[in-house]
Amino acid sequence: MSKKVLIIGAGGVGGVVTHKCAQHPEVFSEICLASRNEGKCQAIAAQLDRPIQTAQVDADNVDDLVRLIKDVQPDLLIHVALPYQDLTIMEACLRTGVPYLDTANYEHPDEAKFEYQEQWAFQERYQEKKLMATLGCGFDPGMTNIYCAWGQKNHFDEIHRIDILDANGGDHGYPFATNFNPEINIREITANGRYWEKGQWKETPPLSEKRVFDFPEIGPKDIYLLYHEELESLCQNIKGLERIRFWMTFSEKYLTHLKVLENVGMTSIEPVKFEDKEIIPIQFLKTILPDPASLGPRTKGKTNIGVILDGVKDGKRRKIYIYNICDHQECYKEVQSQAISYTTGVPATTGAMLMLEGIWEGNGVFNVEQLDPDPFMERIGPMGLPWQMVELDPEKDLLD
């Protein structure tokens, strides 16, 4: 059966998704990659062994998107441009009747706030149109949600506590650079920390909660509590949950640079007047920092992202750790991109595969933990992100 996929966004993640779709012609028989700048799509196309179509689109503009979708006639759209475009692309998919998949929840362009609410608001219209939208199918959100759903389905009667642990043990050799879109990355870190406990959100000042965690194949690292988007849906979808937190590693060096940039106003999203123009400091900063796509060939080391699930099975307490380790240099060899983009693009491609094959199906808007985790967990290893599961001592707290 001939299936055509339209990928929007030719950045780090878009490159990986395009490579991965191209590796699987049995599912993705035709591919079109579209972005703001068609030249970037052509550069990715030139890295592949099979021809793909490329196109230009302004994904902030629904009419332009509808024009492109009508022209390309895809069976599925994978959105890996920026979270600012989630609503326009979801709207265009609705108008044209094309299933949708993304990797990040909607972010307001002029407010440092990301949330699912406005995407969940499409629920009725997608249901009425008998159309499927899959939200947050990257690594975190994405793979981490699926680890939780798989744990819930196969290893627990109830999960009471979840800790999501995200470590990047990679080194790109620059004094300071962000691994994905700097604007999104910096906004995420400079916001208050937030976690969910017993039905309530609890806030902590930015980077105030710190622990040390010994990551397999990476070693002990400082981890900091952050608010992260998968908490918003997981706290609703995991039965019996009492607490969920998210932790990420940052080095001293990274945090010192960030503090200075913040103190001098460079991470602000408020426009300032510069000579005769208005500029937004964080956008200016983005233009002078290394392009995340350029970090690939320089980055060495590994990532380790996983979840600790703590709950009850057959009346006994049980704790498991499920994680993936990914090597930056191996990713670069395979798809010319570092592990951060790779670990996002591979789950997006795997989710798209399951949708196109009708294994993940439904009418409406879904977060990935609401879909069957088993076929995803079977495929994700061969697709490039093998996982491991370790039984932990339930009495031992590794994070408190």
Contact positions toward ligand NDP, by CB under 6 A? 9-14, 35-37, 40, 57-60, 80-83, 85, 103-104, 138-142, 180-181, 184, 292-293, 341, 344
Amino acid at site 149: A
User: Minimum Å distance from CB 198 to ligand NDP?
Assistant: 27
User: Minimum Å distance from CB 101 to ligand NDP?
Assistant: 12
Nearer to ligand NDP, 36 or 318 (CB): 36
User: Minimum Å distance from CB 281 to ligand NDP?
Assistant: 18
d(CA 204, CA 223): 14
In this structure, what DSSP letter does residue 142 have?
B
d(CA 38, CA 9): 10
Nearer to ligand NDP, 13 or 244 (CB): 13
d(CA 385, CA 179): 18
- Quick check: bond before 290 cis, omega within 30? no
Which has the closest alpha carbon to 303: 116, 191, 102, 138? 138
Tell me which residue has tokens 């999104």: 184
Which has the closest alpha carbon to 107: 255, 267, 264, 269? 269
Nearer to ligand NDP, 302 or 318 (CB): 302
Tell me which residue has tokens 């240099």: 329
User: Minimum Å distance from CB 2 to ligand NDP?
Assistant: 26
User: Minimum Å distance from CB 28 to ligand NDP?
Assistant: 19
Angle, to 10 degrees, between the axis of helix 143-154 and the axis of helix 339-356? 60
User: Minimum Å distance from CB 394 to ligand NDP?
Assistant: 29
Pull the structure tokens for residue 87: 């609503």
User: Minimum Å distance from CB 83 to ligand NDP?
Assistant: 5
d(CA 248, CA 219): 14
How many Cα neighbours within 13 Å face the side chain of 147? 31
d(CA 10, CA 52): 13
Q: Which residue's CB atom is positioned nearest to ligand NDP?
A: 11
User: Minimum Å distance from CB 172 to ligand NDP?
Assistant: 14
Nearer to ligand NDP, 235 or 311 (CB): 235
Nearer to ligand NDP, 47 or 256 (CB): 47
Pull the structure tokens for residue 199: 């039905």
Nearer to ligand NDP, 139 or 196 (CB): 139
d(CA 302, CA 390): 19
Nearer to ligand NDP, 74 or 292 (CB): 292
Nearer to ligand NDP, 285 or 392 (CB): 285
Tell me which residue has tokens 């707290």: 397
Nearer to ligand NDP, 59 or 92 (CB): 59
Phi and psi at 72, nearest 5°, equal -80, -35
d(CA 3, CA 21): 11
Do 177 and 292 contact (CB within 8 A), yes or no? yes
Tell me which residue has tokens 């998919």: 93
Nearer to ligand NDP, 184 or 248 (CB): 184
Pull the structure tokens for residue 59: 């994904």
DSSP string, 205-230: -TT--EEEEEETTTEEEEEEEE--TH
User: Minimum Å distance from CB 357 to ligand NDP?
Assistant: 22
User: Minimum Å distance from CB 85 to ligand NDP?
Assistant: 6
